[in-house]
Amino acid sequence: MTGAVSRQDFDEFYSSSAARLVRHGYALTGDMAEAQDIAQEAFARAWQRWPTVRECDSPEAWVRRVATNLAARDRKSVV
Residue 18 has what pLDDT? Answer: 98
Amino acid at 2: T
Residue 75 has what pLDDT? Answer: 67
- Say what angle helices 59-78 and 3-29 make with each other, to 10 degrees: 40
18-23 long-range Cβ contacts below 8 angstroms, 24+ apart: 18/43, 20/60, 21/60, 21/63, 21/64, 21/67
Residues 6+ apart with CB under 8 A from 47: 10
Q: What is the rounded average pLDDT of the residues 16-23?
A: 98
| CA distances in angstroms from 13 to 5, 7, 20, listed in the order given | 12, 10, 12
Nearest CA-CA partner of 25 in 72, 62, 59, 79: 72
Q: What is the rounded average pLDDT of the residues 6-14?
A: 94
Residue 31 has what pLDDT? Answer: 96
pLDDT in tens, 25-36: 999 999 999 999
pLDDT in tens, 26-78: 999 999 999 999 999 999 999 999 999 999 999 999 999 999 999 998 666 55
